[in-house]
């Protein structure tokens, strides 16, 4: 059987798949199918894909541990950078198409509307993670500091969910769904960090806990 990991086939496939939301959006724009308020539609689609990409990135490690498919880790950096990419598009849509570079109004909006404040903070926090995503930066920072810095991604995702919860007016079902998925990923992460260690103390469970 062909080992897809030997070739960049899967990476290319995932790369193309990650570009699909942008292709769909561009298609809708070119065929004038963005609805009555195209700017709102672009903001919403880029926003939701930022959040989805963040959650997919966070799901890589649990998926790797649960399936034993270690090479999944090779996709994590690319997925994280796509979260930054869609976040950048979302932000540019806001400052360009929505606010038309009115700096004073943007500053006032960031200061006065809590959902914009939280979204803005989350996006700003994504920048150092994108900048330090290269292999050279990982080496320069040292694994431990790099890992510490990149734990910020949880705070960013929480910010994304809060931003979403805050901006929807009536139906909070969708933001709650994303919040639930993030909650499950966080619980898994905490369990892995602290829960498994306590199991290791119980001889009968030590073997099983260490195997995972």
Decide if residue 164 touches ligand HEM (CB under 6 A). yes
Least distance CB 157 / ligand HEM (angstroms): 7
Give the tokens for residue 72.
Answer: 């999944």
Tell the smallest beta-carbon distance from residue 193 to ligand HEM (Å): 24
Q: Which two tokens stand for residue 60?
A: 């890589």
Helix (H, G, I), strand (E, B) or coil at 96: helix
Nearer to ligand HEM, 168 or 208 (CB): 168
Cβ atoms of 136 and 77 closer than 8 Å? no
91 binds ligand HEM (CB under 6 A): yes
Q: Is 90 in the site for ligand HEM (CB under 6 A)?
A: yes
Cβ-based nearer residue to ligand HEM, 22 or 167: 167
Smallest distance from the beta carbon of 175 to ligand HEM, in angstroms? 7
Whether the CB-CB separation of 87 and 21 falls below 8 Å is answered with no
* 3-state helix, strand and coil shares in percent for the chain, rounded to the nearest 5: 85, 0, 15
Nearest to 82 by CA among 123, 48, 122, 53: 53
Binding site for ligand HEM (CB under 6 A): 40, 43-44, 47-48, 50-51, 87, 90-91, 94, 116, 119-120, 122-123, 126, 156, 160, 163-164, 167
């Amino acid at each position: 059987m062909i080992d897809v990991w030997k070739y960049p086939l899967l990476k290319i496939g995932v790369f193309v798949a990650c570009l699909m939301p942008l292709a769909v959006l561009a298609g809708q724009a070119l065929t004038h199918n963005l609805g009555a308020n195209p700017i709102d539609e672009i903001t919403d689609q880029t926003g939701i894909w930022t959040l989805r990409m963040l959650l997919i990135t966070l799901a890589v490690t649990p998926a790797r541990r649960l399936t034993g498919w270690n090479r999944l880790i090779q996709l994590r950096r690319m997925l994280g950078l796509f979260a930054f990419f869609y976040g950048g598009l979302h932000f540019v849509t806001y400052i360009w198409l929505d606010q038309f570079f009115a700096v004073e109004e943007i500053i006032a909006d960031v200061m006065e509307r809590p959902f914009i404040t939280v979204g803005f903070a989350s996006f700003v926090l994504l920048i150092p993670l994108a900048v330090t995503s290269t292999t050279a930066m990982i080496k320069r920072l040292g694994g431990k500091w790099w890992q510490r810095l990149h734990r910020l991604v949880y705070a960013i995702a929480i910010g994304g969910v809060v931003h979403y919860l805050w901006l929807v007016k009536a139906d909070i079902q969708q933001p709650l769904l994303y919040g639930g998925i993030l909650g499950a990923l966080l619980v898994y992460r905490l369990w892995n960090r602290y829960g498994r260690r306590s199991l290791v103390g119980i001889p009968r469970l030590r073997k099983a806990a260490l195997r995972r």
